[in-house]
Structure 1
Amino acid sequence: MRRATLSRRAALGAAGLLGLGSLSACGIPAAYVPEERRSATDRSERDKKLTFSNWTQYIDVDKAGKRPTLEEFQRRTGIDVTYTEDINDNDEFFGKISPVLAQGGDPGRDLMVISDWMAGRYVALGWVQTLDRANLPNVTKYLDPQLSHPAFDPERSHSVPWQSGLTGIAYNRKTLGREIKKTSDLWAPDLKGRVTLFAGMDEALGLLMLANGADIARFTTDDAHKAMSQVQKLVDTKHIRRFTGNDYTSDLASGAAVACQAYSGDAIQLKAQNPDIEFVVPEEGAELWAESLMIPNRADHKVNAEKLIDYYYQPEVAAELAAFVQYICPVPAAREVLAKSEDPDTAALADEPLMFPGDEIRARLRTMRDVSAAERPGLHQIWGQVAGV
């Protein structure tokens, strides 16, 4: 079984215009939450249950429609998991849960998976609990070092990666007739009208700034403005076919686009359907990102949630999950488990660089810092005009 192609990093909608300062104007405290809201009386031992909110098709599913790794967790621990696929868009979910968290209410879930650029907002607002590292020995031992210190949560004290991925370039090599090696190759004259970029600023900007030599871990507003100005010129000359959400895959598959910004997890599926599709980590670098597990304030079953987080960091379990979702596995040790599989297709995944990047690719991966609350309104206004969103 393989997951259907589905991108997680949904483009920012209207709610994404709200920086932390804007939230204060809406009556939501920007950086202060009374201490009594930060944690609840944990009922893990008494209740033996937890509620887990995730994106669709982001966990292993067998032919019978069951979730093998999740069912095994329940069997081992006796913890009953209510698993809900109620996250469709970062902003939409934030809009659903923020009024409850802002008032210190029960969020109705003990664990949630949030894209890192949005996870930073929850951390800054003080709306997620501090993880007890003593309950996470597998995380401490096996977490990919390259994902261990994001700018929004330097010690991973509030978040743990669920899955990770790259933003790079996908293209049809047969149609183009040559290789793409750098982001600037997208601007070649013969690609006019045949290139797509992501509509979401947080999704598109990192790769564009890297192309200009910017350090996206410390980018300045000038770096962002320079990249957006370049894209505006490409829009004016109709070089950009359009700005996309998750539907960029259909443009590439149909031939409407020849090259595009793309996610590594999708590229594996696209290439399986069409061997002429290639995914490129540009010479100047690509953006490494993650979606992370977080425990919201007032969650009733924090210890149970931490048990589930640590369970998925066992290499054997991480390998089973990775074989299905086919994003970058945050547990590099899972590669050895897959390599020993008796199923040739599964064993071959151990050599898939878009799941387990080697040193040469890793050297070109960069993690983008968050767009701050002060920067977001101005940058998003300009990007909205450029991308028409």
Structure 2
Amino acid sequence: MSPTTPTRRALTRRSVLGTAGLLGAGTLTGCGIPSAYVAEERRSAPDRSGDEPRLVFSNWTQYIDADDDGRRPTLDAFTERTGIAVTYTEDINDNDEFFGKMGPVLIQGTDPGRDLMVVSDWMAGRYVSLGWVQTLDRVNLPHVTAHLDPQLAAPAFDPGRRRSVPWQSGITGIAYNRKELGRELRSTADLWAPDLKGRVTLFAGLDEALGLLMLAHGADIAAFTADDAHRAMDQVQKMVDTRHVRRFTGNDYTSDLASGAALACQAYSGDAVQLMAENPDLDFVVPEEGGELWAESLLVPNRAGHKRNAEQLIDHYYQPEVAAELAAAVQYICPVPAAREVLAASGEKEKAELAEHPLVFPTEEMRARLHTMRDVTSAERPVLHKVWGRITGV
């Protein structure tokens, strides 16, 4: 296990509407606040890439390769090859928090102070719908065109990936203690078995929890309806009323599972790689009825002054050799399937084993059970958040 393997950074997201919910409506002119939507002609700034060989890249913590001296080899290789210096900042801690910080700047049309950023796809959908990010020039992204995982190529919020490119990906499924439970779990419905009463945790965030729960009821989460969402939430309400659900969690679900306080939980594949390495009694399953495939994606915000440099960096990470180095470090699902062959041929035992890990390079059988969820619209969000907040107590 790589020493740089992260715990899940992003998923302690607030479930309240807050700034993100308000701005998601797109227009606040009736309140004397300018419309949140930014028209196409106001999105770009003069590109200084040719005169200024640099860019600023905002990311989550522990989401890139790093050596013992704190250097980031794949970024250093980019600078050495292109001459473009990268100011790398780990200033994203929560999707909603970062959205609230970026919102006023992007609405006003001022310099965002960064040329590239990574957010979860459900949040990227808001940036795209509000017109807060620039359209990428695909001419500058030949490796993305050649190597992007087809299963991540056409999210509902950005068909054709014209404004976003996956950084890393993952699965929402079920983690459980197979030894203590004494049997396998095969479906989300198995979480409701009587002997798991009080030993199950679910995600507190609506956007994190809902997809897997709707899949359990046979919904098409790429085109789910309000009825699909309420049917799933009604089931959870019953489990809360009977004290079957121990609690709703963010990142801290991993501690409940590790300590034995929880025997089964909603979980992320990236965490599961690390958890199973530390405790072989634990297992992770993509339910028979399906698991949710998600991504966290690179975006170029409006008015960024080094767009072409940012596009060069995006494309750098889609070279299979570079993608392989990043995958070996972070151990999430690699959005570049061709990186698997690079790792397999590396001659290094750990990397060769990683090439065969289904939670980094999913098998075709597993892929057949993965589904991507459309984002919750600004019109749907108030009602769904109200119901989910009542259930979770958040």
TM-score w.r.t. length of structure 1: 0.98
Aligned residue for 1:294? 299
Question: Which residue of the other structure, out of 29, 33, 36, is the alignment partner of 2:35?
Answer: 29
Aligned residues, how many? 388
Question: Which residue of the other structure, out of 90, 104, 107, is the alignment partner of 2:109?
Answer: 104
1:2-21 equivalent positions in 2, closer than 5 A: 2-14=4-16, 15=18, 16-18=20-22, 20-21=24-25
Pair 1:360 & 2:365 matched? yes
Letter in 2 for 1:379: L
For the 8 Å contact 1:150–1:156, the answer to whether it is kept is: yes
Structure 1 ranges of 4+ moved more than 6 A: none
User: What SS does structure 2 have at the residue aligned with 1:370?
Assistant: coil
Letter in 1 for 2:331: Q
Question: C-alpha offsets along residues 119-170 of structure 1, whole Å, 9 cap, x if unaligned?
Answer: 0000011010000000000000000000000000011000000000000000
For the 8 Å contact 1:17–1:380, the answer to whether it is kept is: no
Change (3 A) 1:167 1:23: farther
Aligned residue for 2:241? 236
How far 1:22 sits from its partner (Å)?
6.6
Aligned residue for 1:126? 131
1:247-266 equivalent positions in 2, closer than 5 A: 247-266=252-271
Aligned residue for 2:227? 222
For the 8 Å contact 1:194–1:257, the answer to whether it is kept is: yes
User: What SS does structure 1 have at the residue aligned with 2:50?
Assistant: helix
Pair 1:148 & 2:153 matched? yes
C-alpha root-mean-square deviation of aligned residues, in Å? 1.2
Letter in 2 for 1:11: R
How far 1:4 sits from its partner (Å)?
3.0
User: What SS does structure 2 have at the residue aligned with 1:354?
Assistant: coil
Q: Which runs of 5+ in 1 are unaligned?
A: none
Letter in 1 for 2:128: V
Q: Distance in 1 between matches of 2:351 and 2:39?
A: 49
Q: Which runs of 5+ in 2 are unaligned?
A: none
How far 1:233 sits from its partner (Å)?
0.6
Pair 1:167 & 2:172 matched? yes
Q: Distance in 1 between matches of 2:10 and 2:276?
A: 19
User: What SS does structure 2 have at the residue aligned with 1:46?
Assistant: coil
Q: Structure 1 vs Structure 2: percent identity of aligned residues? A: 72
Q: Distance in 2 between matches of 1:348 and 1:170?
A: 21
How far 1:311 sits from its partner (Å)?
0.3
Aligned residue for 1:213? 218
For the 8 Å contact 1:160–1:292, the answer to whether it is kept is: yes
For the 8 Å contact 2:272–2:284, the answer to whether it is kept is: yes
User: What SS does structure 1 have at the residue aligned with 2:87?
Assistant: strand
User: What SS does structure 2 have at the residue aligned with 1:291?
Assistant: strand
User: What SS does structure 2 have at the residue aligned with 1:241?
Assistant: strand
How far 1:342 sits from its partner (Å)?
1.8
Aligned residue for 1:72? 77
How far 1:28 sits from its partner (Å)?
4.6
User: What SS does structure 2 have at the residue aligned with 1:341?
Assistant: coil
Q: Distance in 1 between matches of 2:250 and 2:12?
A: 7
Q: Distance in 2 between matches of 1:360 and 1:53?
A: 35
User: What SS does structure 2 have at the residue aligned with 1:356?
Assistant: coil
Aligned residue for 1:180? 185
